[in-house]
C-alpha cells in the first residue's frame, strides 16, 4: 500500500442527511486493475464520485501518491491524472463523436496532461470511432457510445481510470469487445478501478477486488483466490476478509 497511486482512508460520503459511505479504506497501485463489486445501492458509484471530486469529502480521505486530494473539484482531479467513465456514459449529446473526444484533447492540452493516448491511437483501439467520427453520438449504439465514453476518458491521459458499470445494458459480444481493450489501457501504466455488477467479469478483468454492501467494504482480496461462496456472503450479508 505504501506505493499506492490512489488511496482512500476512512472515506465518508453523504447525500444531504443520508450517509452513503462508511469509512472506506481502499488503495490501488500503478498499472493495477481493481474491481468494486456489490449490489445496487452498495455505494460503488458513490465511491467513484467521491474520489473524482463530484461529492464533497475531507481532503485527507482521498490521497494520490500520498498527497491529500479529497474534495478537489473534478476538473482539478483530471489535472492530477484521474479520469472517469461515468455510469450512463453521459456523453455530450449535441456533439459528434469527434467533438466529444476533442473536448478531452483540448482540456488535456490546457491542463498540461501528457501521455500516450492520441486520437490516432484511440482509433486503433476502437476502429469504429474513426468510421463514425462525424456521427452525432445520440445515433450510436450503446456499445459504441460506451467506446466514446472510454475514449474520452483515456484522452485525458489518466494515471487512474475510474470505470462505472461499463457493461451495463450492453450485449455480451459488445461487453467482451470493450473489456478486451482494458489490457491495452493497463499496458500504458494506467491503473483501472472497475465498478461492476457482473462478478465473473469483474474477477477475470481485475487483480484484486473489493465487495461493498450498504456503504461498507465487506470483502477484499486477490480476484483469483476469492471464492464464489465468500463473495456471495459478502455481497448479500456477512463479513469476510481474504488475505
Partner 1 sequence: MTMVSMMPPQVRIRRQTASGRIALALFVLAVIGLAAMPWWAKTGTIRMVLELCCYVAVAQMWNMLAGYAGLVSVGQQAFMGASGYALFVLAQTFGVNPFLAVFLSLLVPLVLAVPCYLLLHRLDGPYFAIGTWVVAEVFRLVASNLPLVNAGAGMSLSVMKDYSAFQRNIAMSLFCALLVLVSIGGSYWFLRSRFGLALIAMRDNPVAAASQGVNVRRLRFMIYVAAAVGCGLVGAVYFMAQLRINPPSAFDPMWSNIAIFIVMVGGIASIEGVLIGTLIYFIADRWFGEYGASYFVVLGVMTVLVALYARTGIWGMIAARWDAPWFPIRRHLVLERDKP
Residues that bind partner 1 (CB under 8 A): 52, 54, 73-75, 78-79, 83-84, 86, 90-96, 98-99, 102-104, 106-108, 110-111, 113, 118-120, 123, 133-134, 152-153, 156
Least distance between partner 1 and beta carbon 34 (Å): 19
Least distance between partner 1 and beta carbon 73 (Å): 7
Q: What is the dihedral of CA 157, 161, 164, 165, to 10 degrees?
A: 100
Question: How many Cβ atoms from other residues are within 10 Å of residue 54's Cβ?
Answer: 17
Residue with smaller CB distance to partner 1, 93 or 141? 93
Residue with smaller CB distance to partner 1, 73 or 222? 73
Residue with smaller CB distance to partner 1, 75 or 184? 75
Residue with smaller CB distance to partner 1, 98 or 197? 98
Alpha-carbon distance of 142 to 169, in angstroms, equals 8
Residue 228 C-alpha cell reads as 464464489
Residue with smaller CB distance to partner 1, 92 or 236? 92
Alpha-carbon 203 to chain mean position? 15
Least distance between partner 1 and beta carbon 94 (Å): 5
DSSP letter for each residue of the chain: -TT-SEEEEEEEEEETTEEEEEEEEEEE-TT-EEEEEE-TTSSHHHHHHHHHTSS---GGGEEETTEE-TT--HHHHHHHTEEEE-TT----TTSBHHHHHHHHHHHHHHTT---S--HHHHHHHSTHHHHTTTSBGGGS-HHHHHHHHHHHHHTT--SEEEEE-TTTT--HHHHHHHHTTHHHHHHTT-EEEEE-S-HHHHHHH-SEEEEEETTEEEEEEETTT--HHHHHHHHHS------
Residue with smaller CB distance to partner 1, 191 or 223? 191
Least distance between partner 1 and beta carbon 165 (Å): 15
Least distance between partner 1 and beta carbon 184 (Å): 16
Residue with smaller CB distance to partner 1, 1 or 120? 120
Least distance between partner 1 and beta carbon 38 (Å): 22
Least distance between partner 1 and beta carbon 98 (Å): 5
Amino acid at each position: 500500500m505504501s506505493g499506492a497511486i490512489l488511496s482512500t482512508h476512512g472515506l465518508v460520503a453523504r447525500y444531504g442527511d443520508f450517509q452513503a459511505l462508511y469509512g472506506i479504506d481502499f488503495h490501488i497501485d500503478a498499472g493495477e486493475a481493481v474491481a468494486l463489486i456489490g449490489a445496487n445501492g452498495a455505494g460503488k458509484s458513490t465511491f467513484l464520485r467521491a474520489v473524482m471530486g463530484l461529492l464533497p469529502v475531507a481532503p485527507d480521505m482521498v490521497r494520490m501518491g500520498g498527497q491529500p486530494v479529497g474534495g478537489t473539484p473534478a476538473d482539478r482531479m483530471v489535472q492530477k491524472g484521474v479520469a472517469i467513465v461515468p455510469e450512463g456514459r453521459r456523453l455530450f449529446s449535441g456533439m459528434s463523436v469527434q467533438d466529444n473526444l476533442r473536448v478531452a484533447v483540448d482540456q488535456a492540452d490546457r491542463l498540461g496532461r501528457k501521455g500516450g493516448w492520441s486520437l490516432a491511437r484511440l482509433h486503433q483501439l476502437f476502429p469504429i470511432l474513426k468510421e463514425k467520427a462525424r456521427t452525432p453520438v445520440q445515433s450510436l449504439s450503446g456499445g459504441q457510445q460506451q467506446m466514446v465514453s472510454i475514449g474520452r476518458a483515456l484522452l485525458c491521459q489518466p494515471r487512474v481510470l475510474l470505470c462505472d458499470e461499463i457493461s451495463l445494458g450492453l450485449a455480451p459480444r459488445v461487453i467482451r469487445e470493450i473489456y478486451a481493450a482494458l489490457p491495452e489501457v493497463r499496458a500504458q501504466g494506467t491503473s483501472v478501478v472497475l465498478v461492476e455488477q457482473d462478478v465473473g467479469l469483474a474477477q477475470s478483468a481485475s487483480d484484486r477486488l473489493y465487495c461493498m454492501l450498504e456503504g461498507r467494504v465487506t470483502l477484499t482480496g486477490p480476484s483469483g483466490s476469492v471464492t464464489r461462496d465468500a463473495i456471495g456472503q459478502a455481497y448479500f450479508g456477512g463479513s469476510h476478509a481474504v488475505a
